[in-house]
Structure 1
């Protein structure tokens, strides 16, 4: 009976995950016409480790490329009166209607990742750069349109750069997608180094979602190891939304980054159904994006590490999986754009997250007032438990999740 229940759970979640995949075939630029009143345009640079599809409607497939590609893309956003913040208006037919649909207005291939200098200088927004890394089950156009929505709705004054890795956008290709993130670690590192080397860049914010958080953490870890245990000062903010990372692995990635780390903000939700499925197929190990930051030892250890965790469990959006709240909640998207991009921490005195949103703010767990969740009375070291121990309620003392490694790591 238990086996049948698990099979039913996987099938039901698989249908839901499959349903969250985007549309297909809207990357071909629309013909130039007179601008539609009220529309706005998001210009972005897109780096990818995908193979070109040979089809202008899709541009890139979900297969892996031996070399990265760089593309300049402009996306038209419908007037605010015709769309709800947090949503992507997928075209119902071709060509898209800019008055009601997201539409691509320009596509220009560039010769190499390092060749984006001219584009950057033309689109530089006061030196602030945001790099977005999407999650599992995303086509190329899914990532492009979602990032355009985030940039527009957050009103973030940044130069937007998307890194899209080879996802086959099929629910049963979870392992292929996961290996694609490993395959793309050096590609993302190369992009980040190219951005850092640009003189006009003052700071970089990395926004990663779901499985893309694994890729972001691995690339940052790899960069720090190559550079003798430190990250460059321009990488100032890392935002992990619904991170699909084994919590023990995150602890090791964090430690391997060395002493100077960017500001970290993590968005979690205990009702995330996609992460529930990921936990099921990953050895029943808790995912970072599912934790309750009010519980010990999480609360104490995140505070000591200087990591801000925002709990979105009570936030309601139209996402049936509760996996994309960071992008679909207008409050959260605006929070990213207005504060986190600029490295401003969350404090009770100057940030109101609204009803239903709680935060554990780094360094202030003793009294963060109205935006704080309550701490459970009985600390249980879930970070060091095996699944069997977790069910029995026992623990093994293996130290803090953020302990530094005994020996310097070796790059992999």
Structure 2
């Protein structure tokens, strides 16, 4: 997989600690992550003290095997070559709050494997503190990273010659991706033709701001399919709502965001995990839906995993229960 990051390089020999939580210049590289044969769909298998696992084991755990930094020219030159050989498809993943560089790498590898994605997988890792108590620091850092993210997106869209480019963001990462995209399209509107699909999963963004400002601008300036995954079970977003005093764009329920030009998918009731915040990548129904979306290009109305819901002359979709 390829990565771009504006985290500080710690030079640590432990690859899991190679990039920290401090701000830095934009850096590029390649990383190899192994998936165990025993991998379970939607899982990131890591050592657990509860299972008396005190070190990584490639037969049991998702692991980083190697990491190599590259200069910008080599990075995009080699990426272009790989994309040309692998069906001219690529996706970029931008992680959310409370995520380390290693966590972002593991999640990208898991998504790639579970979606059976054969193209070029790329992730952008901004300097999240990877700490539940550092929410406001992460908020400041995703804002700071937006400029770097915009510049990376410009290169990613122009230097790779990809036929299909999917942009995927999760949680707080949606703040950076949506703002960077809007600013980039203001400067280079022709680049919208490079984008195939935008997937916004559980966005930790003020719902009113999204409905009034962000959503309409993305629809008008990009004009490409946008899929919004939301859930009423997401405890992380409920905590964010309490902090900010406003509904989040990733919430379902009475304040669900429904805009003409964006396909809203309600994933409530699909994830039984502790926080139910990473459901887009951890539940089989959602993985199946995203796979269908990216593989076939089918819109929500044609995907078997979904059922239509009407609301005030607008419509959104809900993931069917019992789908396997």
- Counterpart of 1:106 in structure 2 is 66
Instruction: Summarize the Cα distance change of 1:308–1:83 in structure 2 as closer, same or farther, 3 Å threshold.
Output: same
User: Are positions 1:189 and 2:189 aligned together?
Assistant: no
User: Are positions 1:273 and 2:231 aligned together?
Assistant: no
In the TM superposition, what is the alpha-carbon distance from 1:272 to its structure 2 partner? 1.0
Q: Among 62, 67, 89, which residue is 2:21 paired with?
A: 62
- Counterpart of 1:217 in structure 2 is 178
Q: Under a length normalisation based on structure 1, what TM-score does the superposition of the two structures give?
A: 0.69
**Distance (Å, rounded) in 1 between the aligned partners of 2:35 and 2:83:** 18
Q: Among 46, 55, 78, which residue is 1:90 paired with?
A: 46
User: Are positions 1:352 and 2:304 aligned together?
Assistant: yes
- Counterpart of 1:331 in structure 2 is 285
- Counterpart of 2:126 in structure 1 is 165
Instruction: Summarize the Cα distance change of 1:296–1:278 in structure 2 as closer, same or farther, 3 Å threshold.
Output: closer
Q: Is the 8 A contact 1:265 1:309 kept in 2?
A: yes
Q: Among 247, 266, 269, which residue is 2:207 paired with?
A: 247
Unaligned runs of 5+ in 1: 1-43, 373-412
**Distance (Å, rounded) in 1 between the aligned partners of 2:296 and 2:200:** 16
Instruction: Summarize the Cα distance change of 1:50–1:367 in structure 2 as closer, same or farther, 3 Å threshold.
Output: closer
Between structures 1 and 2, the one with greater helix share: 2
How many positions carry a matched residue from both structures? Answer: 310
Q: Is the 8 A contact 1:121 1:200 kept in 2?
A: no
Q: Under a length normalisation based on structure 2, what TM-score does the superposition of the two structures give?
A: 0.87
- Counterpart of 2:275 in structure 1 is 321
Q: Among 40, 55, 76, which residue is 2:34 paired with?
A: 76
- Counterpart of 2:50 in structure 1 is none
**Distance (Å, rounded) in 2 between the aligned partners of 1:212 and 1:69:** 18
Instruction: Summarize the Cα distance change of 1:332–1:108 in structure 2 as closer, same or farther, 3 Å threshold.
Output: same
In the TM superposition, what is the alpha-carbon distance from 1:369 to its structure 2 partner? 11
Highest CA radius of gyration, 1 or 2? 1
**Distance (Å, rounded) in 2 between the aligned partners of 1:206 and 1:137:** 20
> Which segment is superposed worse, 232-241 or 104-113?
104-113
**Distance (Å, rounded) in 1 between the aligned partners of 2:316 and 2:134:** 45
Hey, which bits of structure 1, 4+ residues long, moved more than 6 A?
A: 366-370
3-state DSSP class of the match of 1:105?
A: strand
Between structures 1 and 2, the one with greater strand share: 2
3-state DSSP class of the match of 2:155?
A: helix
Q: Among 293, 301, 308, which residue is 2:263 paired with?
A: 308
Instruction: Summarize the Cα distance change of 1:275–1:323 in structure 2 as closer, same or farther, 3 Å threshold.
Output: same
In the TM superposition, what is the alpha-carbon distance from 1:97 to its structure 2 partner? 2.1
Q: Is the 8 A contact 2:264 2:316 kept in 1?
A: no
Instruction: Summarize the Cα distance change of 1:197–1:172 in structure 2 as closer, same or farther, 3 Å threshold.
Output: same
Unaligned runs of 5+ in 2: 48-52
In the TM superposition, what is the alpha-carbon distance from 1:367 to its structure 2 partner? 11
Q: Is the 8 A contact 2:267 2:286 kept in 1?
A: no
